[in-house]
Amino acid sequence: MTFNEEENNPLVCFCFNIKLHEVQTIIIQEDVHTIFDIMARCKAGNGCTSCWPLLEELLSLKPPEPGGF
Ligand code: FES
């Protein structure tokens, strides 16, 4: 089996060439709760906004923070 980079780490934001793993890392490791938080940390979402639904979906998958409800 070979690792398929395109399949496992596809582009999320075509305007700024931002890939899935970069956005996932930002969402998981940083205090990120909105698209605007993502936009402030990388350029994803700062262009045509067509990636916003996908960014919202990725945000919805963020694990709850310890002590949060
Ligand atoms: S595809 Fe992300 S801003 Fe255009």
| pLDDT tens string 28-65 | 988 899 999 999 999 999 999 999 999 999 999 987 77
Which residue, judged by its Cα, is nearest atom 2 of ligand 1? 13
- Its pTM stands at 0.85
Domain assignment present for residue 67? The answer is no
| pLDDT tens string 1-24 | 456 777 899 999 999 999 999 999
CA of 68 to the centre of ligand 1 (A): 31
Domain assignment present for residue 52? The answer is yes
Q: What is the CATH number of the domain that holds 16?
A: 1.10.10.1100
Tokens for 20? 């899935």
CA of 25 to the centre of ligand 1 (A): 18
SS (H, E, C) the chain: CCCCHHHHCCEEECCCCEEHHHHHHHHHHCCCCCHHHHHHHCCCCCCCCCCHHHHHHHHHCCCCCCCCC
17 lines ligand 1 (CB under 6 A): no
Number of domains in the chain: 1
Tokens for 51? 């990636």
Domain assignment present for residue 24? The answer is yes
Please tell me the distance from the alpha carbon of residue 25 to that of residue 63, in angstroms, as a whole number: 12
CA of 66 to the centre of ligand 1 (A): 31
Tokens for 46? 């700062």
pLDDT at residue 69, rounded to an integer? 54
Domain of residue 41 covers: 8-60
Mean pLDDT, the chain, integer: 90
